[in-house]
A and B are shown apart, each in its own frame.
Chain A
Amino acid sequence: MNLAQIIQYCLSGITVGSIYAIVAIGFNIIYNTTGIINFAQGEFLIVGAMMAVSLTKVVPLPVAIGLAVVITTVLGGLVEVVFIRRVRDASVLRLIVITIGVSILIREAMLHIWDEKVRSLPYFTGTDVSTISVMGAHMSPQVLWVLGVSAVIVTGLTLFFRFTLIGRAMRACADDRMAARLCGINDRWMVTLSFMLSAGIGAIAGCVISPVTQTQYDMGAPLAIKGFTVAILGGLGNSIAAIAAGLILGLLEVLMMSQFQAAYKEAVSIVVLLLILVFRPSGLFARRDVSSLRAF
């Protein structure tokens, strides 16, 4: 393989990897605030993209995306209020099953609203054949959009959590919910906010990747698994590590694809997941102490 091909593959890997990282960050935000793994995380990406696709028929692209993101964000909040909040004695088993049910509902709703056709948003800039040259490698400008948007999301979240009052309130909840309540923080709304935030960034990611990977109603579950794998790889709850982990998984997938058949691409993330769980369940970037993972 020459340099151009290598760069092409790398870019491809980084592109898809940054989307996985966003999904993982979505997992982490909710996990940190509530301890729940939200199985419906992947669906938010698809819902956002599908909605944007429909909206582009009536409004210009940027507006469509903006609206879709807002609606999906609200949807995330609704999910929390309607389903999660009610559950008082939150046994892990029950919550898992509820979020699974929610992901089914969303998927089936999408099937009935948008049917099983494959759709996609138009390329943000240019067309599906326009390319940019980087050191001999050709790539679509959409790749730059993906990387750029991902970077903006990550920066935005970092600033949000570190410097805004609400962001710090959410971190307080994540650390010690009871103590946060005693400080006057409305922890119930922090939970709702975490769902909304995860849904929102999911929708953005879904929209920006749609021209490249297309969007279909059942793509949510595989995305959720890969996002989860990345989250574990980086250490559950650790969003900065999730970025690195996402890039690693993306590159690994592309590597597998280049050497073997594309059909085995899916297997990569599962194998990685199982390997990590066997050898280093706390993630690549965490300390050795895994005792917090063991309690049920």
Chain B
Amino acid sequence: MGGRRYIPLIAAALLIVAGQPVLWAIGRPYYMTQITMSAYYALVVIGLCLLMGYAGQVSLGHAGFFAVGGYTSAVLTTCNLLARQNEFPIRWFRWLGLLVERQDLYGQAMLCFSPWAAFVVAMLLAGLIGFSIGLPVIRLKGHYLAMATLGFGLIIYRIVQGAPVFGQADGISNVPPFELFAGLEVNGRPPYRVQNYYIAWVAVLAAMLLAINLVQSRVGRALRSIHQNEEAAHSLGVNTFQYKLSTFVLSAVFAAVGGALLTHYNGSIGPSEVTVMKSVRYVSIVAVGGMANLWGALVMGIVLNFLSLRGVFGTYDDAVFGVILIVIMLFAPQGLLRMPTLRGISTLFSRRSYG
């Protein structure tokens, strides 16, 4: 039903598959790593695009949800429970198959949570926190959520920076690879580079699939209606509060997934992923991609993050995103791809102007 909506998705998939041997051929495999990392950041952006472009809310703390995902995965897969393996909850977890035995750097035996268990916990935790913050704040005017999420991001930053269990300034390293299935694993080491390029992109395309479906569905229509005229939407039976809250929670979970996967890919995570600037970066990307434009957000996310990772912006890295934000908001509030000159190009990708 509505197969047309999937055309860009298939086109993107083809592009990605074609791109990989090209990258390989030009002898720059490191580009592949950076694109892979950008892809994981893009997961945050996709969720945020749903929140900002469709539910019309700003979150200044999405790096915090990224951190919830990443740090939860990191902590659970690196904390050694071997010493307590006979204690009550630990024994039970082991019996349920949630724990795995592995070895640390020095060959010592370790008993930690399996990456899958940690992943599920990370998503649930992010959803729970998102719900707790959203519940009191979403029914109020937009600035309140913006400020509350800014505060949330700052709290998470302080917590991971200050608490020893999160490694403080050094963060957590030696995070094991994430074995998915059929021998595929999320692993940043060179032999796995090509495999992980595809894994990351599958994750992104899956997220896009869900997002595009949502936007074209009854819920998506309701979200758009809320964004364009909340009072009217409300009078037509749309439970505006519930929809906004659900979208917020969904975007939090997307961010946490990105955080968890990237942490396994990099093998580590640190407080630098949780700064206010990171959160602002995600917001800028969604804004410049066109608030309600999923593909725009994705493309901008990949491009800008890739450039940033390659160091193109130098010490002005953060400033660039700040400038982008302002320039776009002042001159092209519907996003770059919706400006008159570029509109023709973007209509190649979408029949209507949404997603």
Contact = CB atoms under 8 A, between A and B. Distances in A.
Interface of A: 37, 39, 83, 86-87, 92-94, 96-98, 100-102, 104-105, 107-109, 112, 221-222, 224-225, 228-229, 232, 263, 266-267, 269-270, 273-274, 277-278, 281, 293-296
B151 A294 contact: no
14 contacts: A37-B143, A96-B143, A98-B330, A100-B280, A104-B325, A105-B326, A107-B322, A225-B150, A228-B147, A266-B154, A274-B137, A274-B148, A274-B151, A296-B230
B137 A270 contact: no
A273 B162 contact: no
B326 A98 contact: yes
Given A97-B325, A108-B318, A274-B133, 5 more contacts: A87-B330, A101-B322, A105-B323, A270-B148, A270-B155
A98 B319 CA distance: 14
A274 B136 contact: yes
Contacts of A266: 154-155, 158
Interface in B93-113: none
A104 B154 contact: no
A225 B52 CA distance: 21
Interface of B: 52, 56-58, 60, 133, 135-137, 139-144, 146-148, 150-152, 154-155, 158, 162-163, 230, 276-277, 280, 283-284, 287, 291, 315-316, 318-319, 321-323, 325-326, 329-330, 333
Contacts of B142: 92-93, 96, 296
Contacts of A100: 60, 146, 280, 283, 325
B151 A273 contact: yes
A40 B323 CA distance: 14
B139 A294 contact: yes
Contacts of A228: 147
B132 to A, nearest CB: 8
Contact of B316 (A101, A108, A263, A270): A108
Contacts of A229: 151
Contacts of B329: 87, 94, 97-98, 101
A267 to B, nearest CB: 6
Contact of B277 (A104, A263, A274, A296): A104
Contact of A293 (B58, B136, B141, B323): B141
A52 B137 CA distance: 38
Closest 7 CB pairs of A and B: A104-B322, A101-B326, A101-B325, A278-B136, A108-B319, A270-B151, A37-B143
Given A94-B333, A104-B318, A277 B137 contact: yes
Contacts of A98: 325-326, 329-330
Contacts of B148: 270, 273-274, 277
Given A94-B333, A101-B329, A108-B316, A269 B151 contact: yes
A139 B25 CA distance: 69
B144 to A, nearest CB: 6
Contacts of B146: 37, 39, 96, 100
Nearest to B325: A101
Contacts of B283: 97, 100
B319 A296 contact: no
